[in-house]
Structures are given as C-alpha cells and as structure tokens.
Structure 1
Amino acid sequence: MSPSSARLRRGVIAAALAGALLVPLAAGTAPAAPAAGTPTPSASGPDVRALSPGVARQVDAAVRRVMRETGTPGVSVGVWTPGQPDYVRSFGVADKSTGRRMAPDMYTRIGSETKTFTVTALLQLVDRGEVGLDDPIGRYIRGVPNGDRITLRQLAGMRSGLFNYSEDDAFFKALTSDPRRPFTPRQLLAYSFKHPVLFQPGEKFYYSNTNLILLGLVVERRSGLRLGDYIQRHILDPAGMRHTLFPAGAEFPSPHPQGYTNQTANGKTADATDWDPSWGWAAGAMISTLDDLRTWAPTVATGRLPDGRRMVSAATQKQRLTTPATPIPGAGYGLGIFDVQGWIGHNGSLPGYESLTIYLPATRTTLVVVLNTDIDHGNNEPSTLFGQAITRIISPRHVFDLPAEPAAR
C-alpha cells in the first residue's frame, strides 16, 4: 500500500493531527488546558507584520517556492487584517491540461473544514436545549459501540475511541475501485462498527471521521432537517456565505479547478474533480470559496456572525475553544476546531483538494489557503507547508507548524 493511500484511509485532516496521535486524558469531559497557541520562543516583534509591498513580495516568493517543492499546480491565498492592505492572490494553473489559470473566485472542495460547520450546528442545538454535550450518543443513535458511555462532547473532541471508518480495508477498496459511487452515513458507520473500540471514552485523542458522521445524524434527528439544509438555513444564510454549499452528490459549481490526487488503488495520479464526496459527508463533503472562507474564519473562531450577532452563545463557544493539548507542541484540539500556535481554525484534505482556514484573535487576522492537489510532500500535506511558510513571514511569533508524521504504516 502506498503512503498516499494509507493517508486517505486515516482520514481527511492534516496528517500531523491524524489518528496515530494519542494523548492520555481523564475519562469523561475533556479537562481545560492552557491555551495551545504559545508564541515561538525565539521569535520577536509584532504578532502580525503589516503587509507592505515588500512583505507581500516575500509572501509571493514563499508561495512560489512551496509550489515548486510540492508540485502544486495551483493555489489561492488570502490574508486579511483590519487596518492593513488585503493580500489576495492566485498562482499557477487550475487545469494542467489546458493551462487555465487559478483564480481567487473559484469554488473548491474543503474536506475536513466541514467538521467546523457540523459542530457549529450541534452547538446551536445545545444552545436551544435540544441536546446536551454530555449526553451519550446512544440516546440518539442506536447500535453505537460504547454508545451508553460516549458523549457528544467526546465525539466532537475526537476522544470517543471509535474506529475511523476511513482506515477500514473494505472501505478503502470500495472507494478507490469506484470513486464516483455514493455512500450513505449508515454505510460509513458500518465500516467502523465492525471494529472493536480502540480505548474507553475520554482516555485518548484519536482523530476519527466516524465521530462526525454520528454528530451529523444527531443534528438531523433533533432538527428534523437534512444536515445540508440545516447548515444552509442556520449557518450559511445568516453568515451571508452565498458561495458555500453542502452538496447532495458530486455537483461542483463553476468556476472550479481540476483536482489532482494519488489517493488511488494503484497510487497513480488521477483527476478527482468529479469524485463523489459523500464518503466524507458530515466530516468532509462541503464546497466553498476563498472569500466565503474569509467570512467563516472569524465566525467560527469567535462564535459571532459578521453583523455582530452570536452564532452560538458565549458559554458554548468557550467550551468549543477549550483545546486540550495533543502530542504536538503548541497544538490543541477542541470541539471540531484546533489551535496551533494561536491560530484557530481547521484544515481540509479530500482527494484532489486541500484548504486551510485559520484566524489569529490577537490581531483579528485571517489566513485562507486553497489548492488543487492533496499529494503529500515528504509526509507533509501541502496546505500545512503553505501555512507554515506564510506565517513565518506574516506572524513570526505564531508560526503555523505541524511537523511531519512518520512514514505511513
């Protein structure tokens, strides 16, 4: 099995926060921890540098260098800080066969950033008293291993102990043999539930897409709406995100880049643009644009809509942003969201596409990166390398740094 296919089986997040990382925690509710975003000890200067023409040229050069090193066909980058010039630029091509250029207005698949929307939906139901974060999942969904003990909080915080369905051999074979086939949530859960639980609830951190499939079903059951309809009505419409959607199938609005992957049965590079993303569902199926993700970054990080109204209550948002440490220095994971050296948000990886949407509260800076490949470079996801290179320039005291994981196993 190739390293790339092994990463597909582990899930749709940056490899450095994937299922291999286990951290002991007290059973039950995850305890509060110091903020994970500690500044880099050797760095000095302001939290974010002003994007002068000289700094912008440095970012240009860094993006082009990472493109060359990783073989990324096309990438779009946005950096926004109140009171400073915006940085919005695209590099490379959206289509290798025609040479069509990458552009900032293109739609893109955002993979695991979907988790931030699913968990937001859950937290809204918590605020309405429809569910409780410490309710057992078995209260809402039957047949879940340890369902009487695993809480919704532990599912959202990646501490359930449930096997990640995307690591299952039969799932991998089914997906790669026919990547345009649809999957139902119950089919995805079946791949997970045939495996024994990996540990008791709350004992460890283990990134599992299974958790989000269950939370998506809870949202549907308690709201009476399909998950995509709920997210549209209660999250996207209030936020004014008119170019973000939860697809029902493989539909993909134009304009969009072609996406290139080696997450295939034979490890060869393929065009994954029209592959069906239903295998990610509540964990990874959504589509968005650079500008809409600009809106989403501060919304999910603060719990407030662009007009100042609350998306979720202050008390619930505080629980979301409690990010117990992971084994990675300076990185914590809360309720469907991470904090890496002070940058709050999430990344996404789906065959052919990667994205990174993060927010630095100290300066209200947003960074969004979208690209049209998910092919690893030295066991690093390209989106991580772009984020690292850009933040070394714009926020040297807060470098988005997720180290490479060991070779696939």
Structure 2
Amino acid sequence: MARLSMFKIVLAALAALCLVGAGAVPAQAARTDRFDAATVERLDRAVTAVMERAGIPGANVGLWMPGRGTYVKSFGVSDTSSGTPMDTGLHLRIGSVTKTFTITGLLKLVDQGKIALDDPIARYVPGVPQGDRITLRQLAGMRSGLVDYTEDERWAASLLADPQRTYTPRQLLDYAFTHPLDFPPGTKWAYSNTNTVLLGLVIEKVGGQPLGTYLKQQVYEPLELDETSFPTDARIPAPYSQGYSDFTKDGGTTAATHWNPSWAWAAGAMISDLDDLRAWVPALADGRLLTPATQEQRLDFGPTGYPDVSYGLGIMRVKGWIGHNGDLPGYESLAVKLPSEDATMVILVNSDVDYRGASLSTLLGRAVTSVVTPEHVFDLPSAAQSRQQSPSPTPSR
C-alpha cells in the first residue's frame, strides 16, 4: 500500500525505454521440490512477460506452497553495466516491509506491559499535532490523520539535492508537522510514513536502545534472520544487487544503490534477502513472536477505501494475502502469505521505475498468483501502493 506518490516523478515512456530488455531470461533455479513442469513453464512465461513489458532489470521470485511445490528463481541482471546475473542470495533494500518489523517490535513492548496500544503518542513524543488524541493503535493502523512527510515538496527537493544526506527522525517529522492533519484521528485510513517514524521513537524511548539494535535483538535475531539488517548509513552488505530509480531531477534512470536510507528509517530503511523474508513472512502471519491476544489485535483488519485491500497494525491484506509491500528509490519488495493455502510469496526487484503507474512488485505478484492461486490474485490498486516516495496509501514504500 505504499507508494509515496508525492516523491515519485514517473515518466512511463522513459521507464519503459530505460530498462527494457534488461532481463527476461531466468538466471537460476535453486530448488528441487518444484511445481509440476507445466506450472513451472506457466510461471516462467508469466514472470518473463512482465519483466520484458515493464523493463525490469532484475528480480528474485520465491513461492513456497507445501504439498504443491516450490518456485525459486532469479531473473535478469543485478547490474545493468556489467550484465552480472541476478542471484537469490543477493541483499536488496526492502522499503516498507520494514514496517512489519517495526510494528512487531512495538507489539512486543505491549506484550511486556510497557506500553498500551491506546496510549496517546503525546505520552512518549512531544510536539505531535493533536498528539493527545492520536493513539499508538491509530499510528500502527494508518488512521492518525498525520500527513506523510514524503508528500512535502521541501523534503523531496532536499533528497533530490543530496541523496547521501543523513536525516534524523525529528527532521522527518518536522516536514510532516508543518501541515494540518488530513482528517480527525481515527476517522479514516491513509498511508503515512510519519506514523511509523513516530512509533520508532516510542520503541527507542521505552525499549532504551537505538531502533536498529532493538529490532535486531527482539525481532529478527530470535528467528535467525542473519541476512537482515537495519542500516545506519548508506552501505549495503555484500553481495548485493544494484538498484535503479527514476527519482531524479530530469526523470532519467540512475543507480540509487548507495543512497542513504535514513529518510525512511523505521518506515522503510531495512535490508534483507529472499531466504530471510521467506522465513519472516510465516512468523509474521502466525504471530510467532507475540502473544495470541496481541496477534489477534494486529490482524484486526480495517477498510482502506480500496476494494479487497484492508489494513491491520503494520500489515495489509489483499485478496487473502497478508504481509506488506515496499518501495523506495532503486528497489521494490513484496512479502506475503496466503494462510488458506499455506502459501508464502516473496518478490524482490532492483528497480522502482513504475510501469504505466503500476508498481513492479505488484505486477509480478499478480502474474505469479494468477497462475497458482487464481481465486486469490494479488493486485494492489495504484493509488493504494506502498511507497516511500509518493503520497498514497501504502502498505509499504
């Protein structure tokens, strides 16, 4: 649900020209318990068609359905200059999938009795407009009314001027707080990265640690997600894929691999790989790190105003698939589970150059699910994409 539309300068023609042809041939297959040959062939054709049509340079696609099969492949290239093939072991930035980790960290504090979801944010962070009326639950569920800082033109201009700039969480909030609330707290749903940044500050205050340290110890280390990290600078651990973006002054495409993700912080700064996200999604869906009562609250999905799209606490549901998508300069991600089929799907893309207004991860998710779960086709409306660069409801960017 997140495409921070405000942040994006989308030129569909350029997007198609810049990356087309960069990778339509599967680079590797890495599992033996595969689907039947006919299904694999249909999946290959479906993914390849999207890659060619949308000009996607590289993608890792993973689908695990116990009893039916596994499909894990890399497509295209990780570096358009060298032609290095994409590989399932590469690290990529995951954008708003970060929110699933941050909100899990917050909910662990709930389970420990250190905070309550109906506490006002003013109890923990001063200076929030109507902070005495906005609850932690509303922030986690995207119902606060606070404007997304990525919709602020000054913020977009500052990032374009210096992609290596380090932002503090308070600087990000200052962009948002110059705007009036979009609606009274709790009355509507609207995706806003501002909400998750505020909750990151709550975690730091109550947890007594930097956010990245807390999430490592409390969320992804217990699950042995060794390739997942919360960066404090622009570095990305090797091996990694380059990431390509059209968030540029002239609308052209550039490598955004080493842009500083501090502007996304708790809302979208994390890095991971295919195998770690494959392990994370089931744990997220079944509440493995939380009490049953807290997980039940997390999965209390409310309407977003978009057909077949609902949102819980830092988690979305689309046609039965639950999890999150992500989008930030250079990368897109999708990490979801379909409980009714015990199916897990993870898609990582090394570009965020939309195709005719549609995010690349959604296009690939739609292609895969059209083949294997035709009654549960993953399809996020463009206006509901998860973006860390545009003003829209986002289960991620």
CA–CA distance in 1 between the matches of 2:109 and 2:381?
A: 35
CA contact (8 A) 2:310 2:318 kept: yes
1:164 alignment partner, one of 148, 152, 158: 148
Alignment partner, residue 201 of structure 1: 185
| Corresponding position: 1:379 with 2:361 | no
| Corresponding position: 1:72 with 2:36 | no
Alignment partner, residue 318 of structure 1: 296
Within 5 A, what are the aligned runs for 1:222-237? 222-237=206-221
Alignment partner, residue 334 of structure 1: 312
> Against the structure 1 CA distance between its residues 376 and 196, is the aligned structure 2 distance closer, same or farther, given a 3 Å change threshold?
same
Alignment partner, residue 198 of structure 2: 214
Alignment partner, residue 351 of structure 1: 329
Within 5 A, what are the aligned runs for 1:388-399? 388-399=366-377
**Helix, strand or coil for the counterpart of 2:302?**
coil
1:83 alignment partner, one of 60, 63, 67: 67
What are the superposed Cα offsets for residues 311-369 of structure 1, whole Å, 9 maximum, x if unpaired? 01101101111111222211101101001010000000010000100001112110000
Alignment partner, residue 245 of structure 2: 261
CA contact (8 A) 1:260 1:273 kept: yes
**Helix, strand or coil for the counterpart of 1:75?**
strand
**Helix, strand or coil for the counterpart of 2:82?**
coil
Alignment partner, residue 275 of structure 1: 259
CA–CA distance in 2 between the matches of 1:85 and 1:203?
A: 43
Within 5 A, what are the aligned runs for 1:99-178? 99-178=83-162
| Corresponding position: 1:186 with 2:164 | no
**Helix, strand or coil for the counterpart of 2:341?**
coil
Query: Could you tell me which amino acid in structure 1 is paired with residue 127 of structure 2?
Result: G
Alignment partner, residue 31 of structure 2: none
TM-superposed deviation, 1:271 = 0.5
What are the superposed Cα offsets for residues 209-266 of structure 1, whole Å, 9 maximum, x if unpaired? 0000000000000010111001100111101100000001111011111111001122
CA contact (8 A) 1:10 1:167 kept: no
Query: Per residue, is there more strand in 1 or in 2?
Result: 2
What are the superposed Cα offsets for residues 92-124 of structure 1, whole Å, 9 maximum, x if unpaired? 000000000000000000000000000000000
2:231 alignment partner, one of 243, 247, 267: 247
What are the superposed Cα offsets for residues 290-316 of structure 1, whole Å, 9 maximum, x if unpaired? 000000111111111xxxxxx011011
TM-superposed deviation, 1:387 = 0.3
Query: Could you tell me which amino acid in structure 2 is paired with residue 7 of structure 1?
Result: S
Query: Could you tell me which amino acid in structure 2 is paired with residue 362 of structure 1?
Result: S
CA–CA distance in 1 between the matches of 2:284 and 2:69?
A: 23
CA–CA distance in 2 between the matches of 1:96 and 1:144?
A: 44
**Helix, strand or coil for the counterpart of 2:345?**
strand
CA contact (8 A) 2:4 2:150 kept: no
Question: Normalising by the residue count of structure 1, what TM-score does the alignment of the two structures yield?
Answer: 0.86
1:366 alignment partner, one of 339, 344, 363: 344
CA–CA distance in 1 between the matches of 2:70 and 2:184?
A: 47
Query: Could you tell me which amino acid in structure 2 is paired with residue 296 of structure 1?
Result: W
Alignment partner, residue 26 of structure 2: none
CA–CA distance in 1 between the matches of 2:354 and 2:87?
A: 23
Q: RMSD in angstroms over aligned alpha carbons?
A: 1.6
Alignment partner, residue 54 of structure 1: 38
CA–CA distance in 2 between the matches of 1:94 and 1:209?
A: 28
CA–CA distance in 1 between the matches of 2:243 and 2:8?
A: 20
**Where in structure 2 are there 5+ consecutive unaligned residues?**
10-33, 385-389, 392-397
Question: How many equivalent residue pairs?
Answer: 360
Query: Could you tell me which amino acid in structure 2 is paired with residue 66 of structure 1?
Result: V
2:285 alignment partner, one of 301, 305, 329: 301
**Helix, strand or coil for the counterpart of 1:92?**
strand
**Helix, strand or coil for the counterpart of 1:325?**
strand
CA contact (8 A) 1:73 1:96 kept: yes
CA–CA distance in 2 between the matches of 1:10 and 1:318?
A: 35
CA–CA distance in 2 between the matches of 1:294 and 1:221?
A: 31
Alignment partner, residue 17 of structure 1: none
CA–CA distance in 2 between the matches of 1:10 and 1:379?
A: 10
Identical positions, percent? 52
CA–CA distance in 1 between the matches of 2:350 and 2:164?
A: 18
CA contact (8 A) 1:378 1:404 kept: no
CA–CA distance in 1 between the matches of 2:341 and 2:107?
A: 26
TM-superposed deviation, 1:83 = 2.9
CA contact (8 A) 2:146 2:192 kept: yes
> Against the structure 1 CA distance between its residues 10 and 204, is the aligned structure 2 distance closer, same or farther, given a 3 Å change threshold?
farther
TM-superposed deviation, 1:404 = 3.1
CA contact (8 A) 1:338 1:344 kept: yes
Question: Normalising by the residue count of structure 2, what TM-score does the alignment of the two structures yield?
Answer: 0.88
CA contact (8 A) 2:7 2:247 kept: no
